[in-house]
Amino acid sequence: MSATTAGGAGQALIGTGTDEVAAFARDGVLNWGPFLRPEELDPVRAAMERAFYAGAEGEAVAADVRDLSERRGKPLEYGLLQKVDLWQTEPVFAALVARPDVVARVEALLGGPVRLFRDHAFYKPAGKGEASNLVLHQDNRYWHLDPPTAATIWVALDDATVANGCVHYVLGSHTRGRIGHERTDPDSVLVEAVTDEEAVPYPVPAGSALIHHAQTLHGSPPNTTPWPRRAYCVVYMRADILRRGEPVTDYPLATELAAN
């Protein structure tokens, strides 16, 4: 896998090499290493706090934040928070989705021009126990991309450890097509992959990035620490695929975002 340098808007990462392309095709996940420079972390964290919490001192979860720990008919626990399309309202995220070095690197992995499907962020607050668990799943179980030629860049905004719920991946699972999912908890809003395969933890320091294929099985265990675990994600897809049977031409070309 190619080495990387810390990146930022206008600061290039070292380009993708053939070894990285082969490793991604084999495993369905790569550790990209440094993605944000240390001085970029605080502004990105501050933007994420603004996006997730309304009012002074983060006193209330914002109205457009989804609680993935929701159980139907029960009070929200706010244990696993998600927000989508932050780039449309926060300039710091708009700059990240348009980084030319990142777009070029993803295009090399996916084999052609890409579009921005979405960005989203995950927030695992402290003290929520099992409510902060994210079960094993394939992203394309929810996205319905055909073929599922897409990848998620997962950027740690805090040190991601086994204790606070770093991402775990089932290596090579993206090559096995669509894997069955079921609702193990009838009240859960999420479904879980039906598999007995072992998932490998990928702990990374704050500012580092992982990238995984849309079919790679992954999940993250509960945050058991006294601190939050925050992550920001960008999803790119091949420009020529379909979603729910329709062309994805309404989604912006990543190179056009980078040129603006």
How do the domains of the chain map onto residue ranges?
18-259
Q: Over 99-159, what HEC string results?
A: CHHHHHHHHHHHCCCEEEEEEEEEEECCCCHHHHCEEEECCHHHHCEECCCEEEEEEECCC
Q: For tokens 């070095």, what's the residue?
A: 101
Q: What contacts 32, CB < 8 A, 6 or more positions away? A: 4, 13, 153, 208, 209, 210, 211
**Is the C-alpha dihedral spanning 237, 66, 81, 74 positive or negative?**
negative
pTM: 0.90
> Out of 2.60.120.620, 3.20.20.150, 3.40.50.300, 2.40.50.140, which CATH number does the structure's domain 18-259 have?
2.60.120.620
Q: What is the pLDDT along the chain (260 residues), one digit of tens a residue?
A: 333 333 333 334 434 566 999 999 999 999 999 999 999 999 999 999 999 997 544 457 998 999 999 988 888 899 999 999 999 999 999 999 999 999 999 999 999 999 999 999 999 999 999 999 999 999 999 999 999 999 999 999 999 999 999 999 999 999 998 888 988 788 787 887 788 889 999 999 999 999 999 999 999 999 999 999 999 999 999 999 999 999 999 999 999 998 77
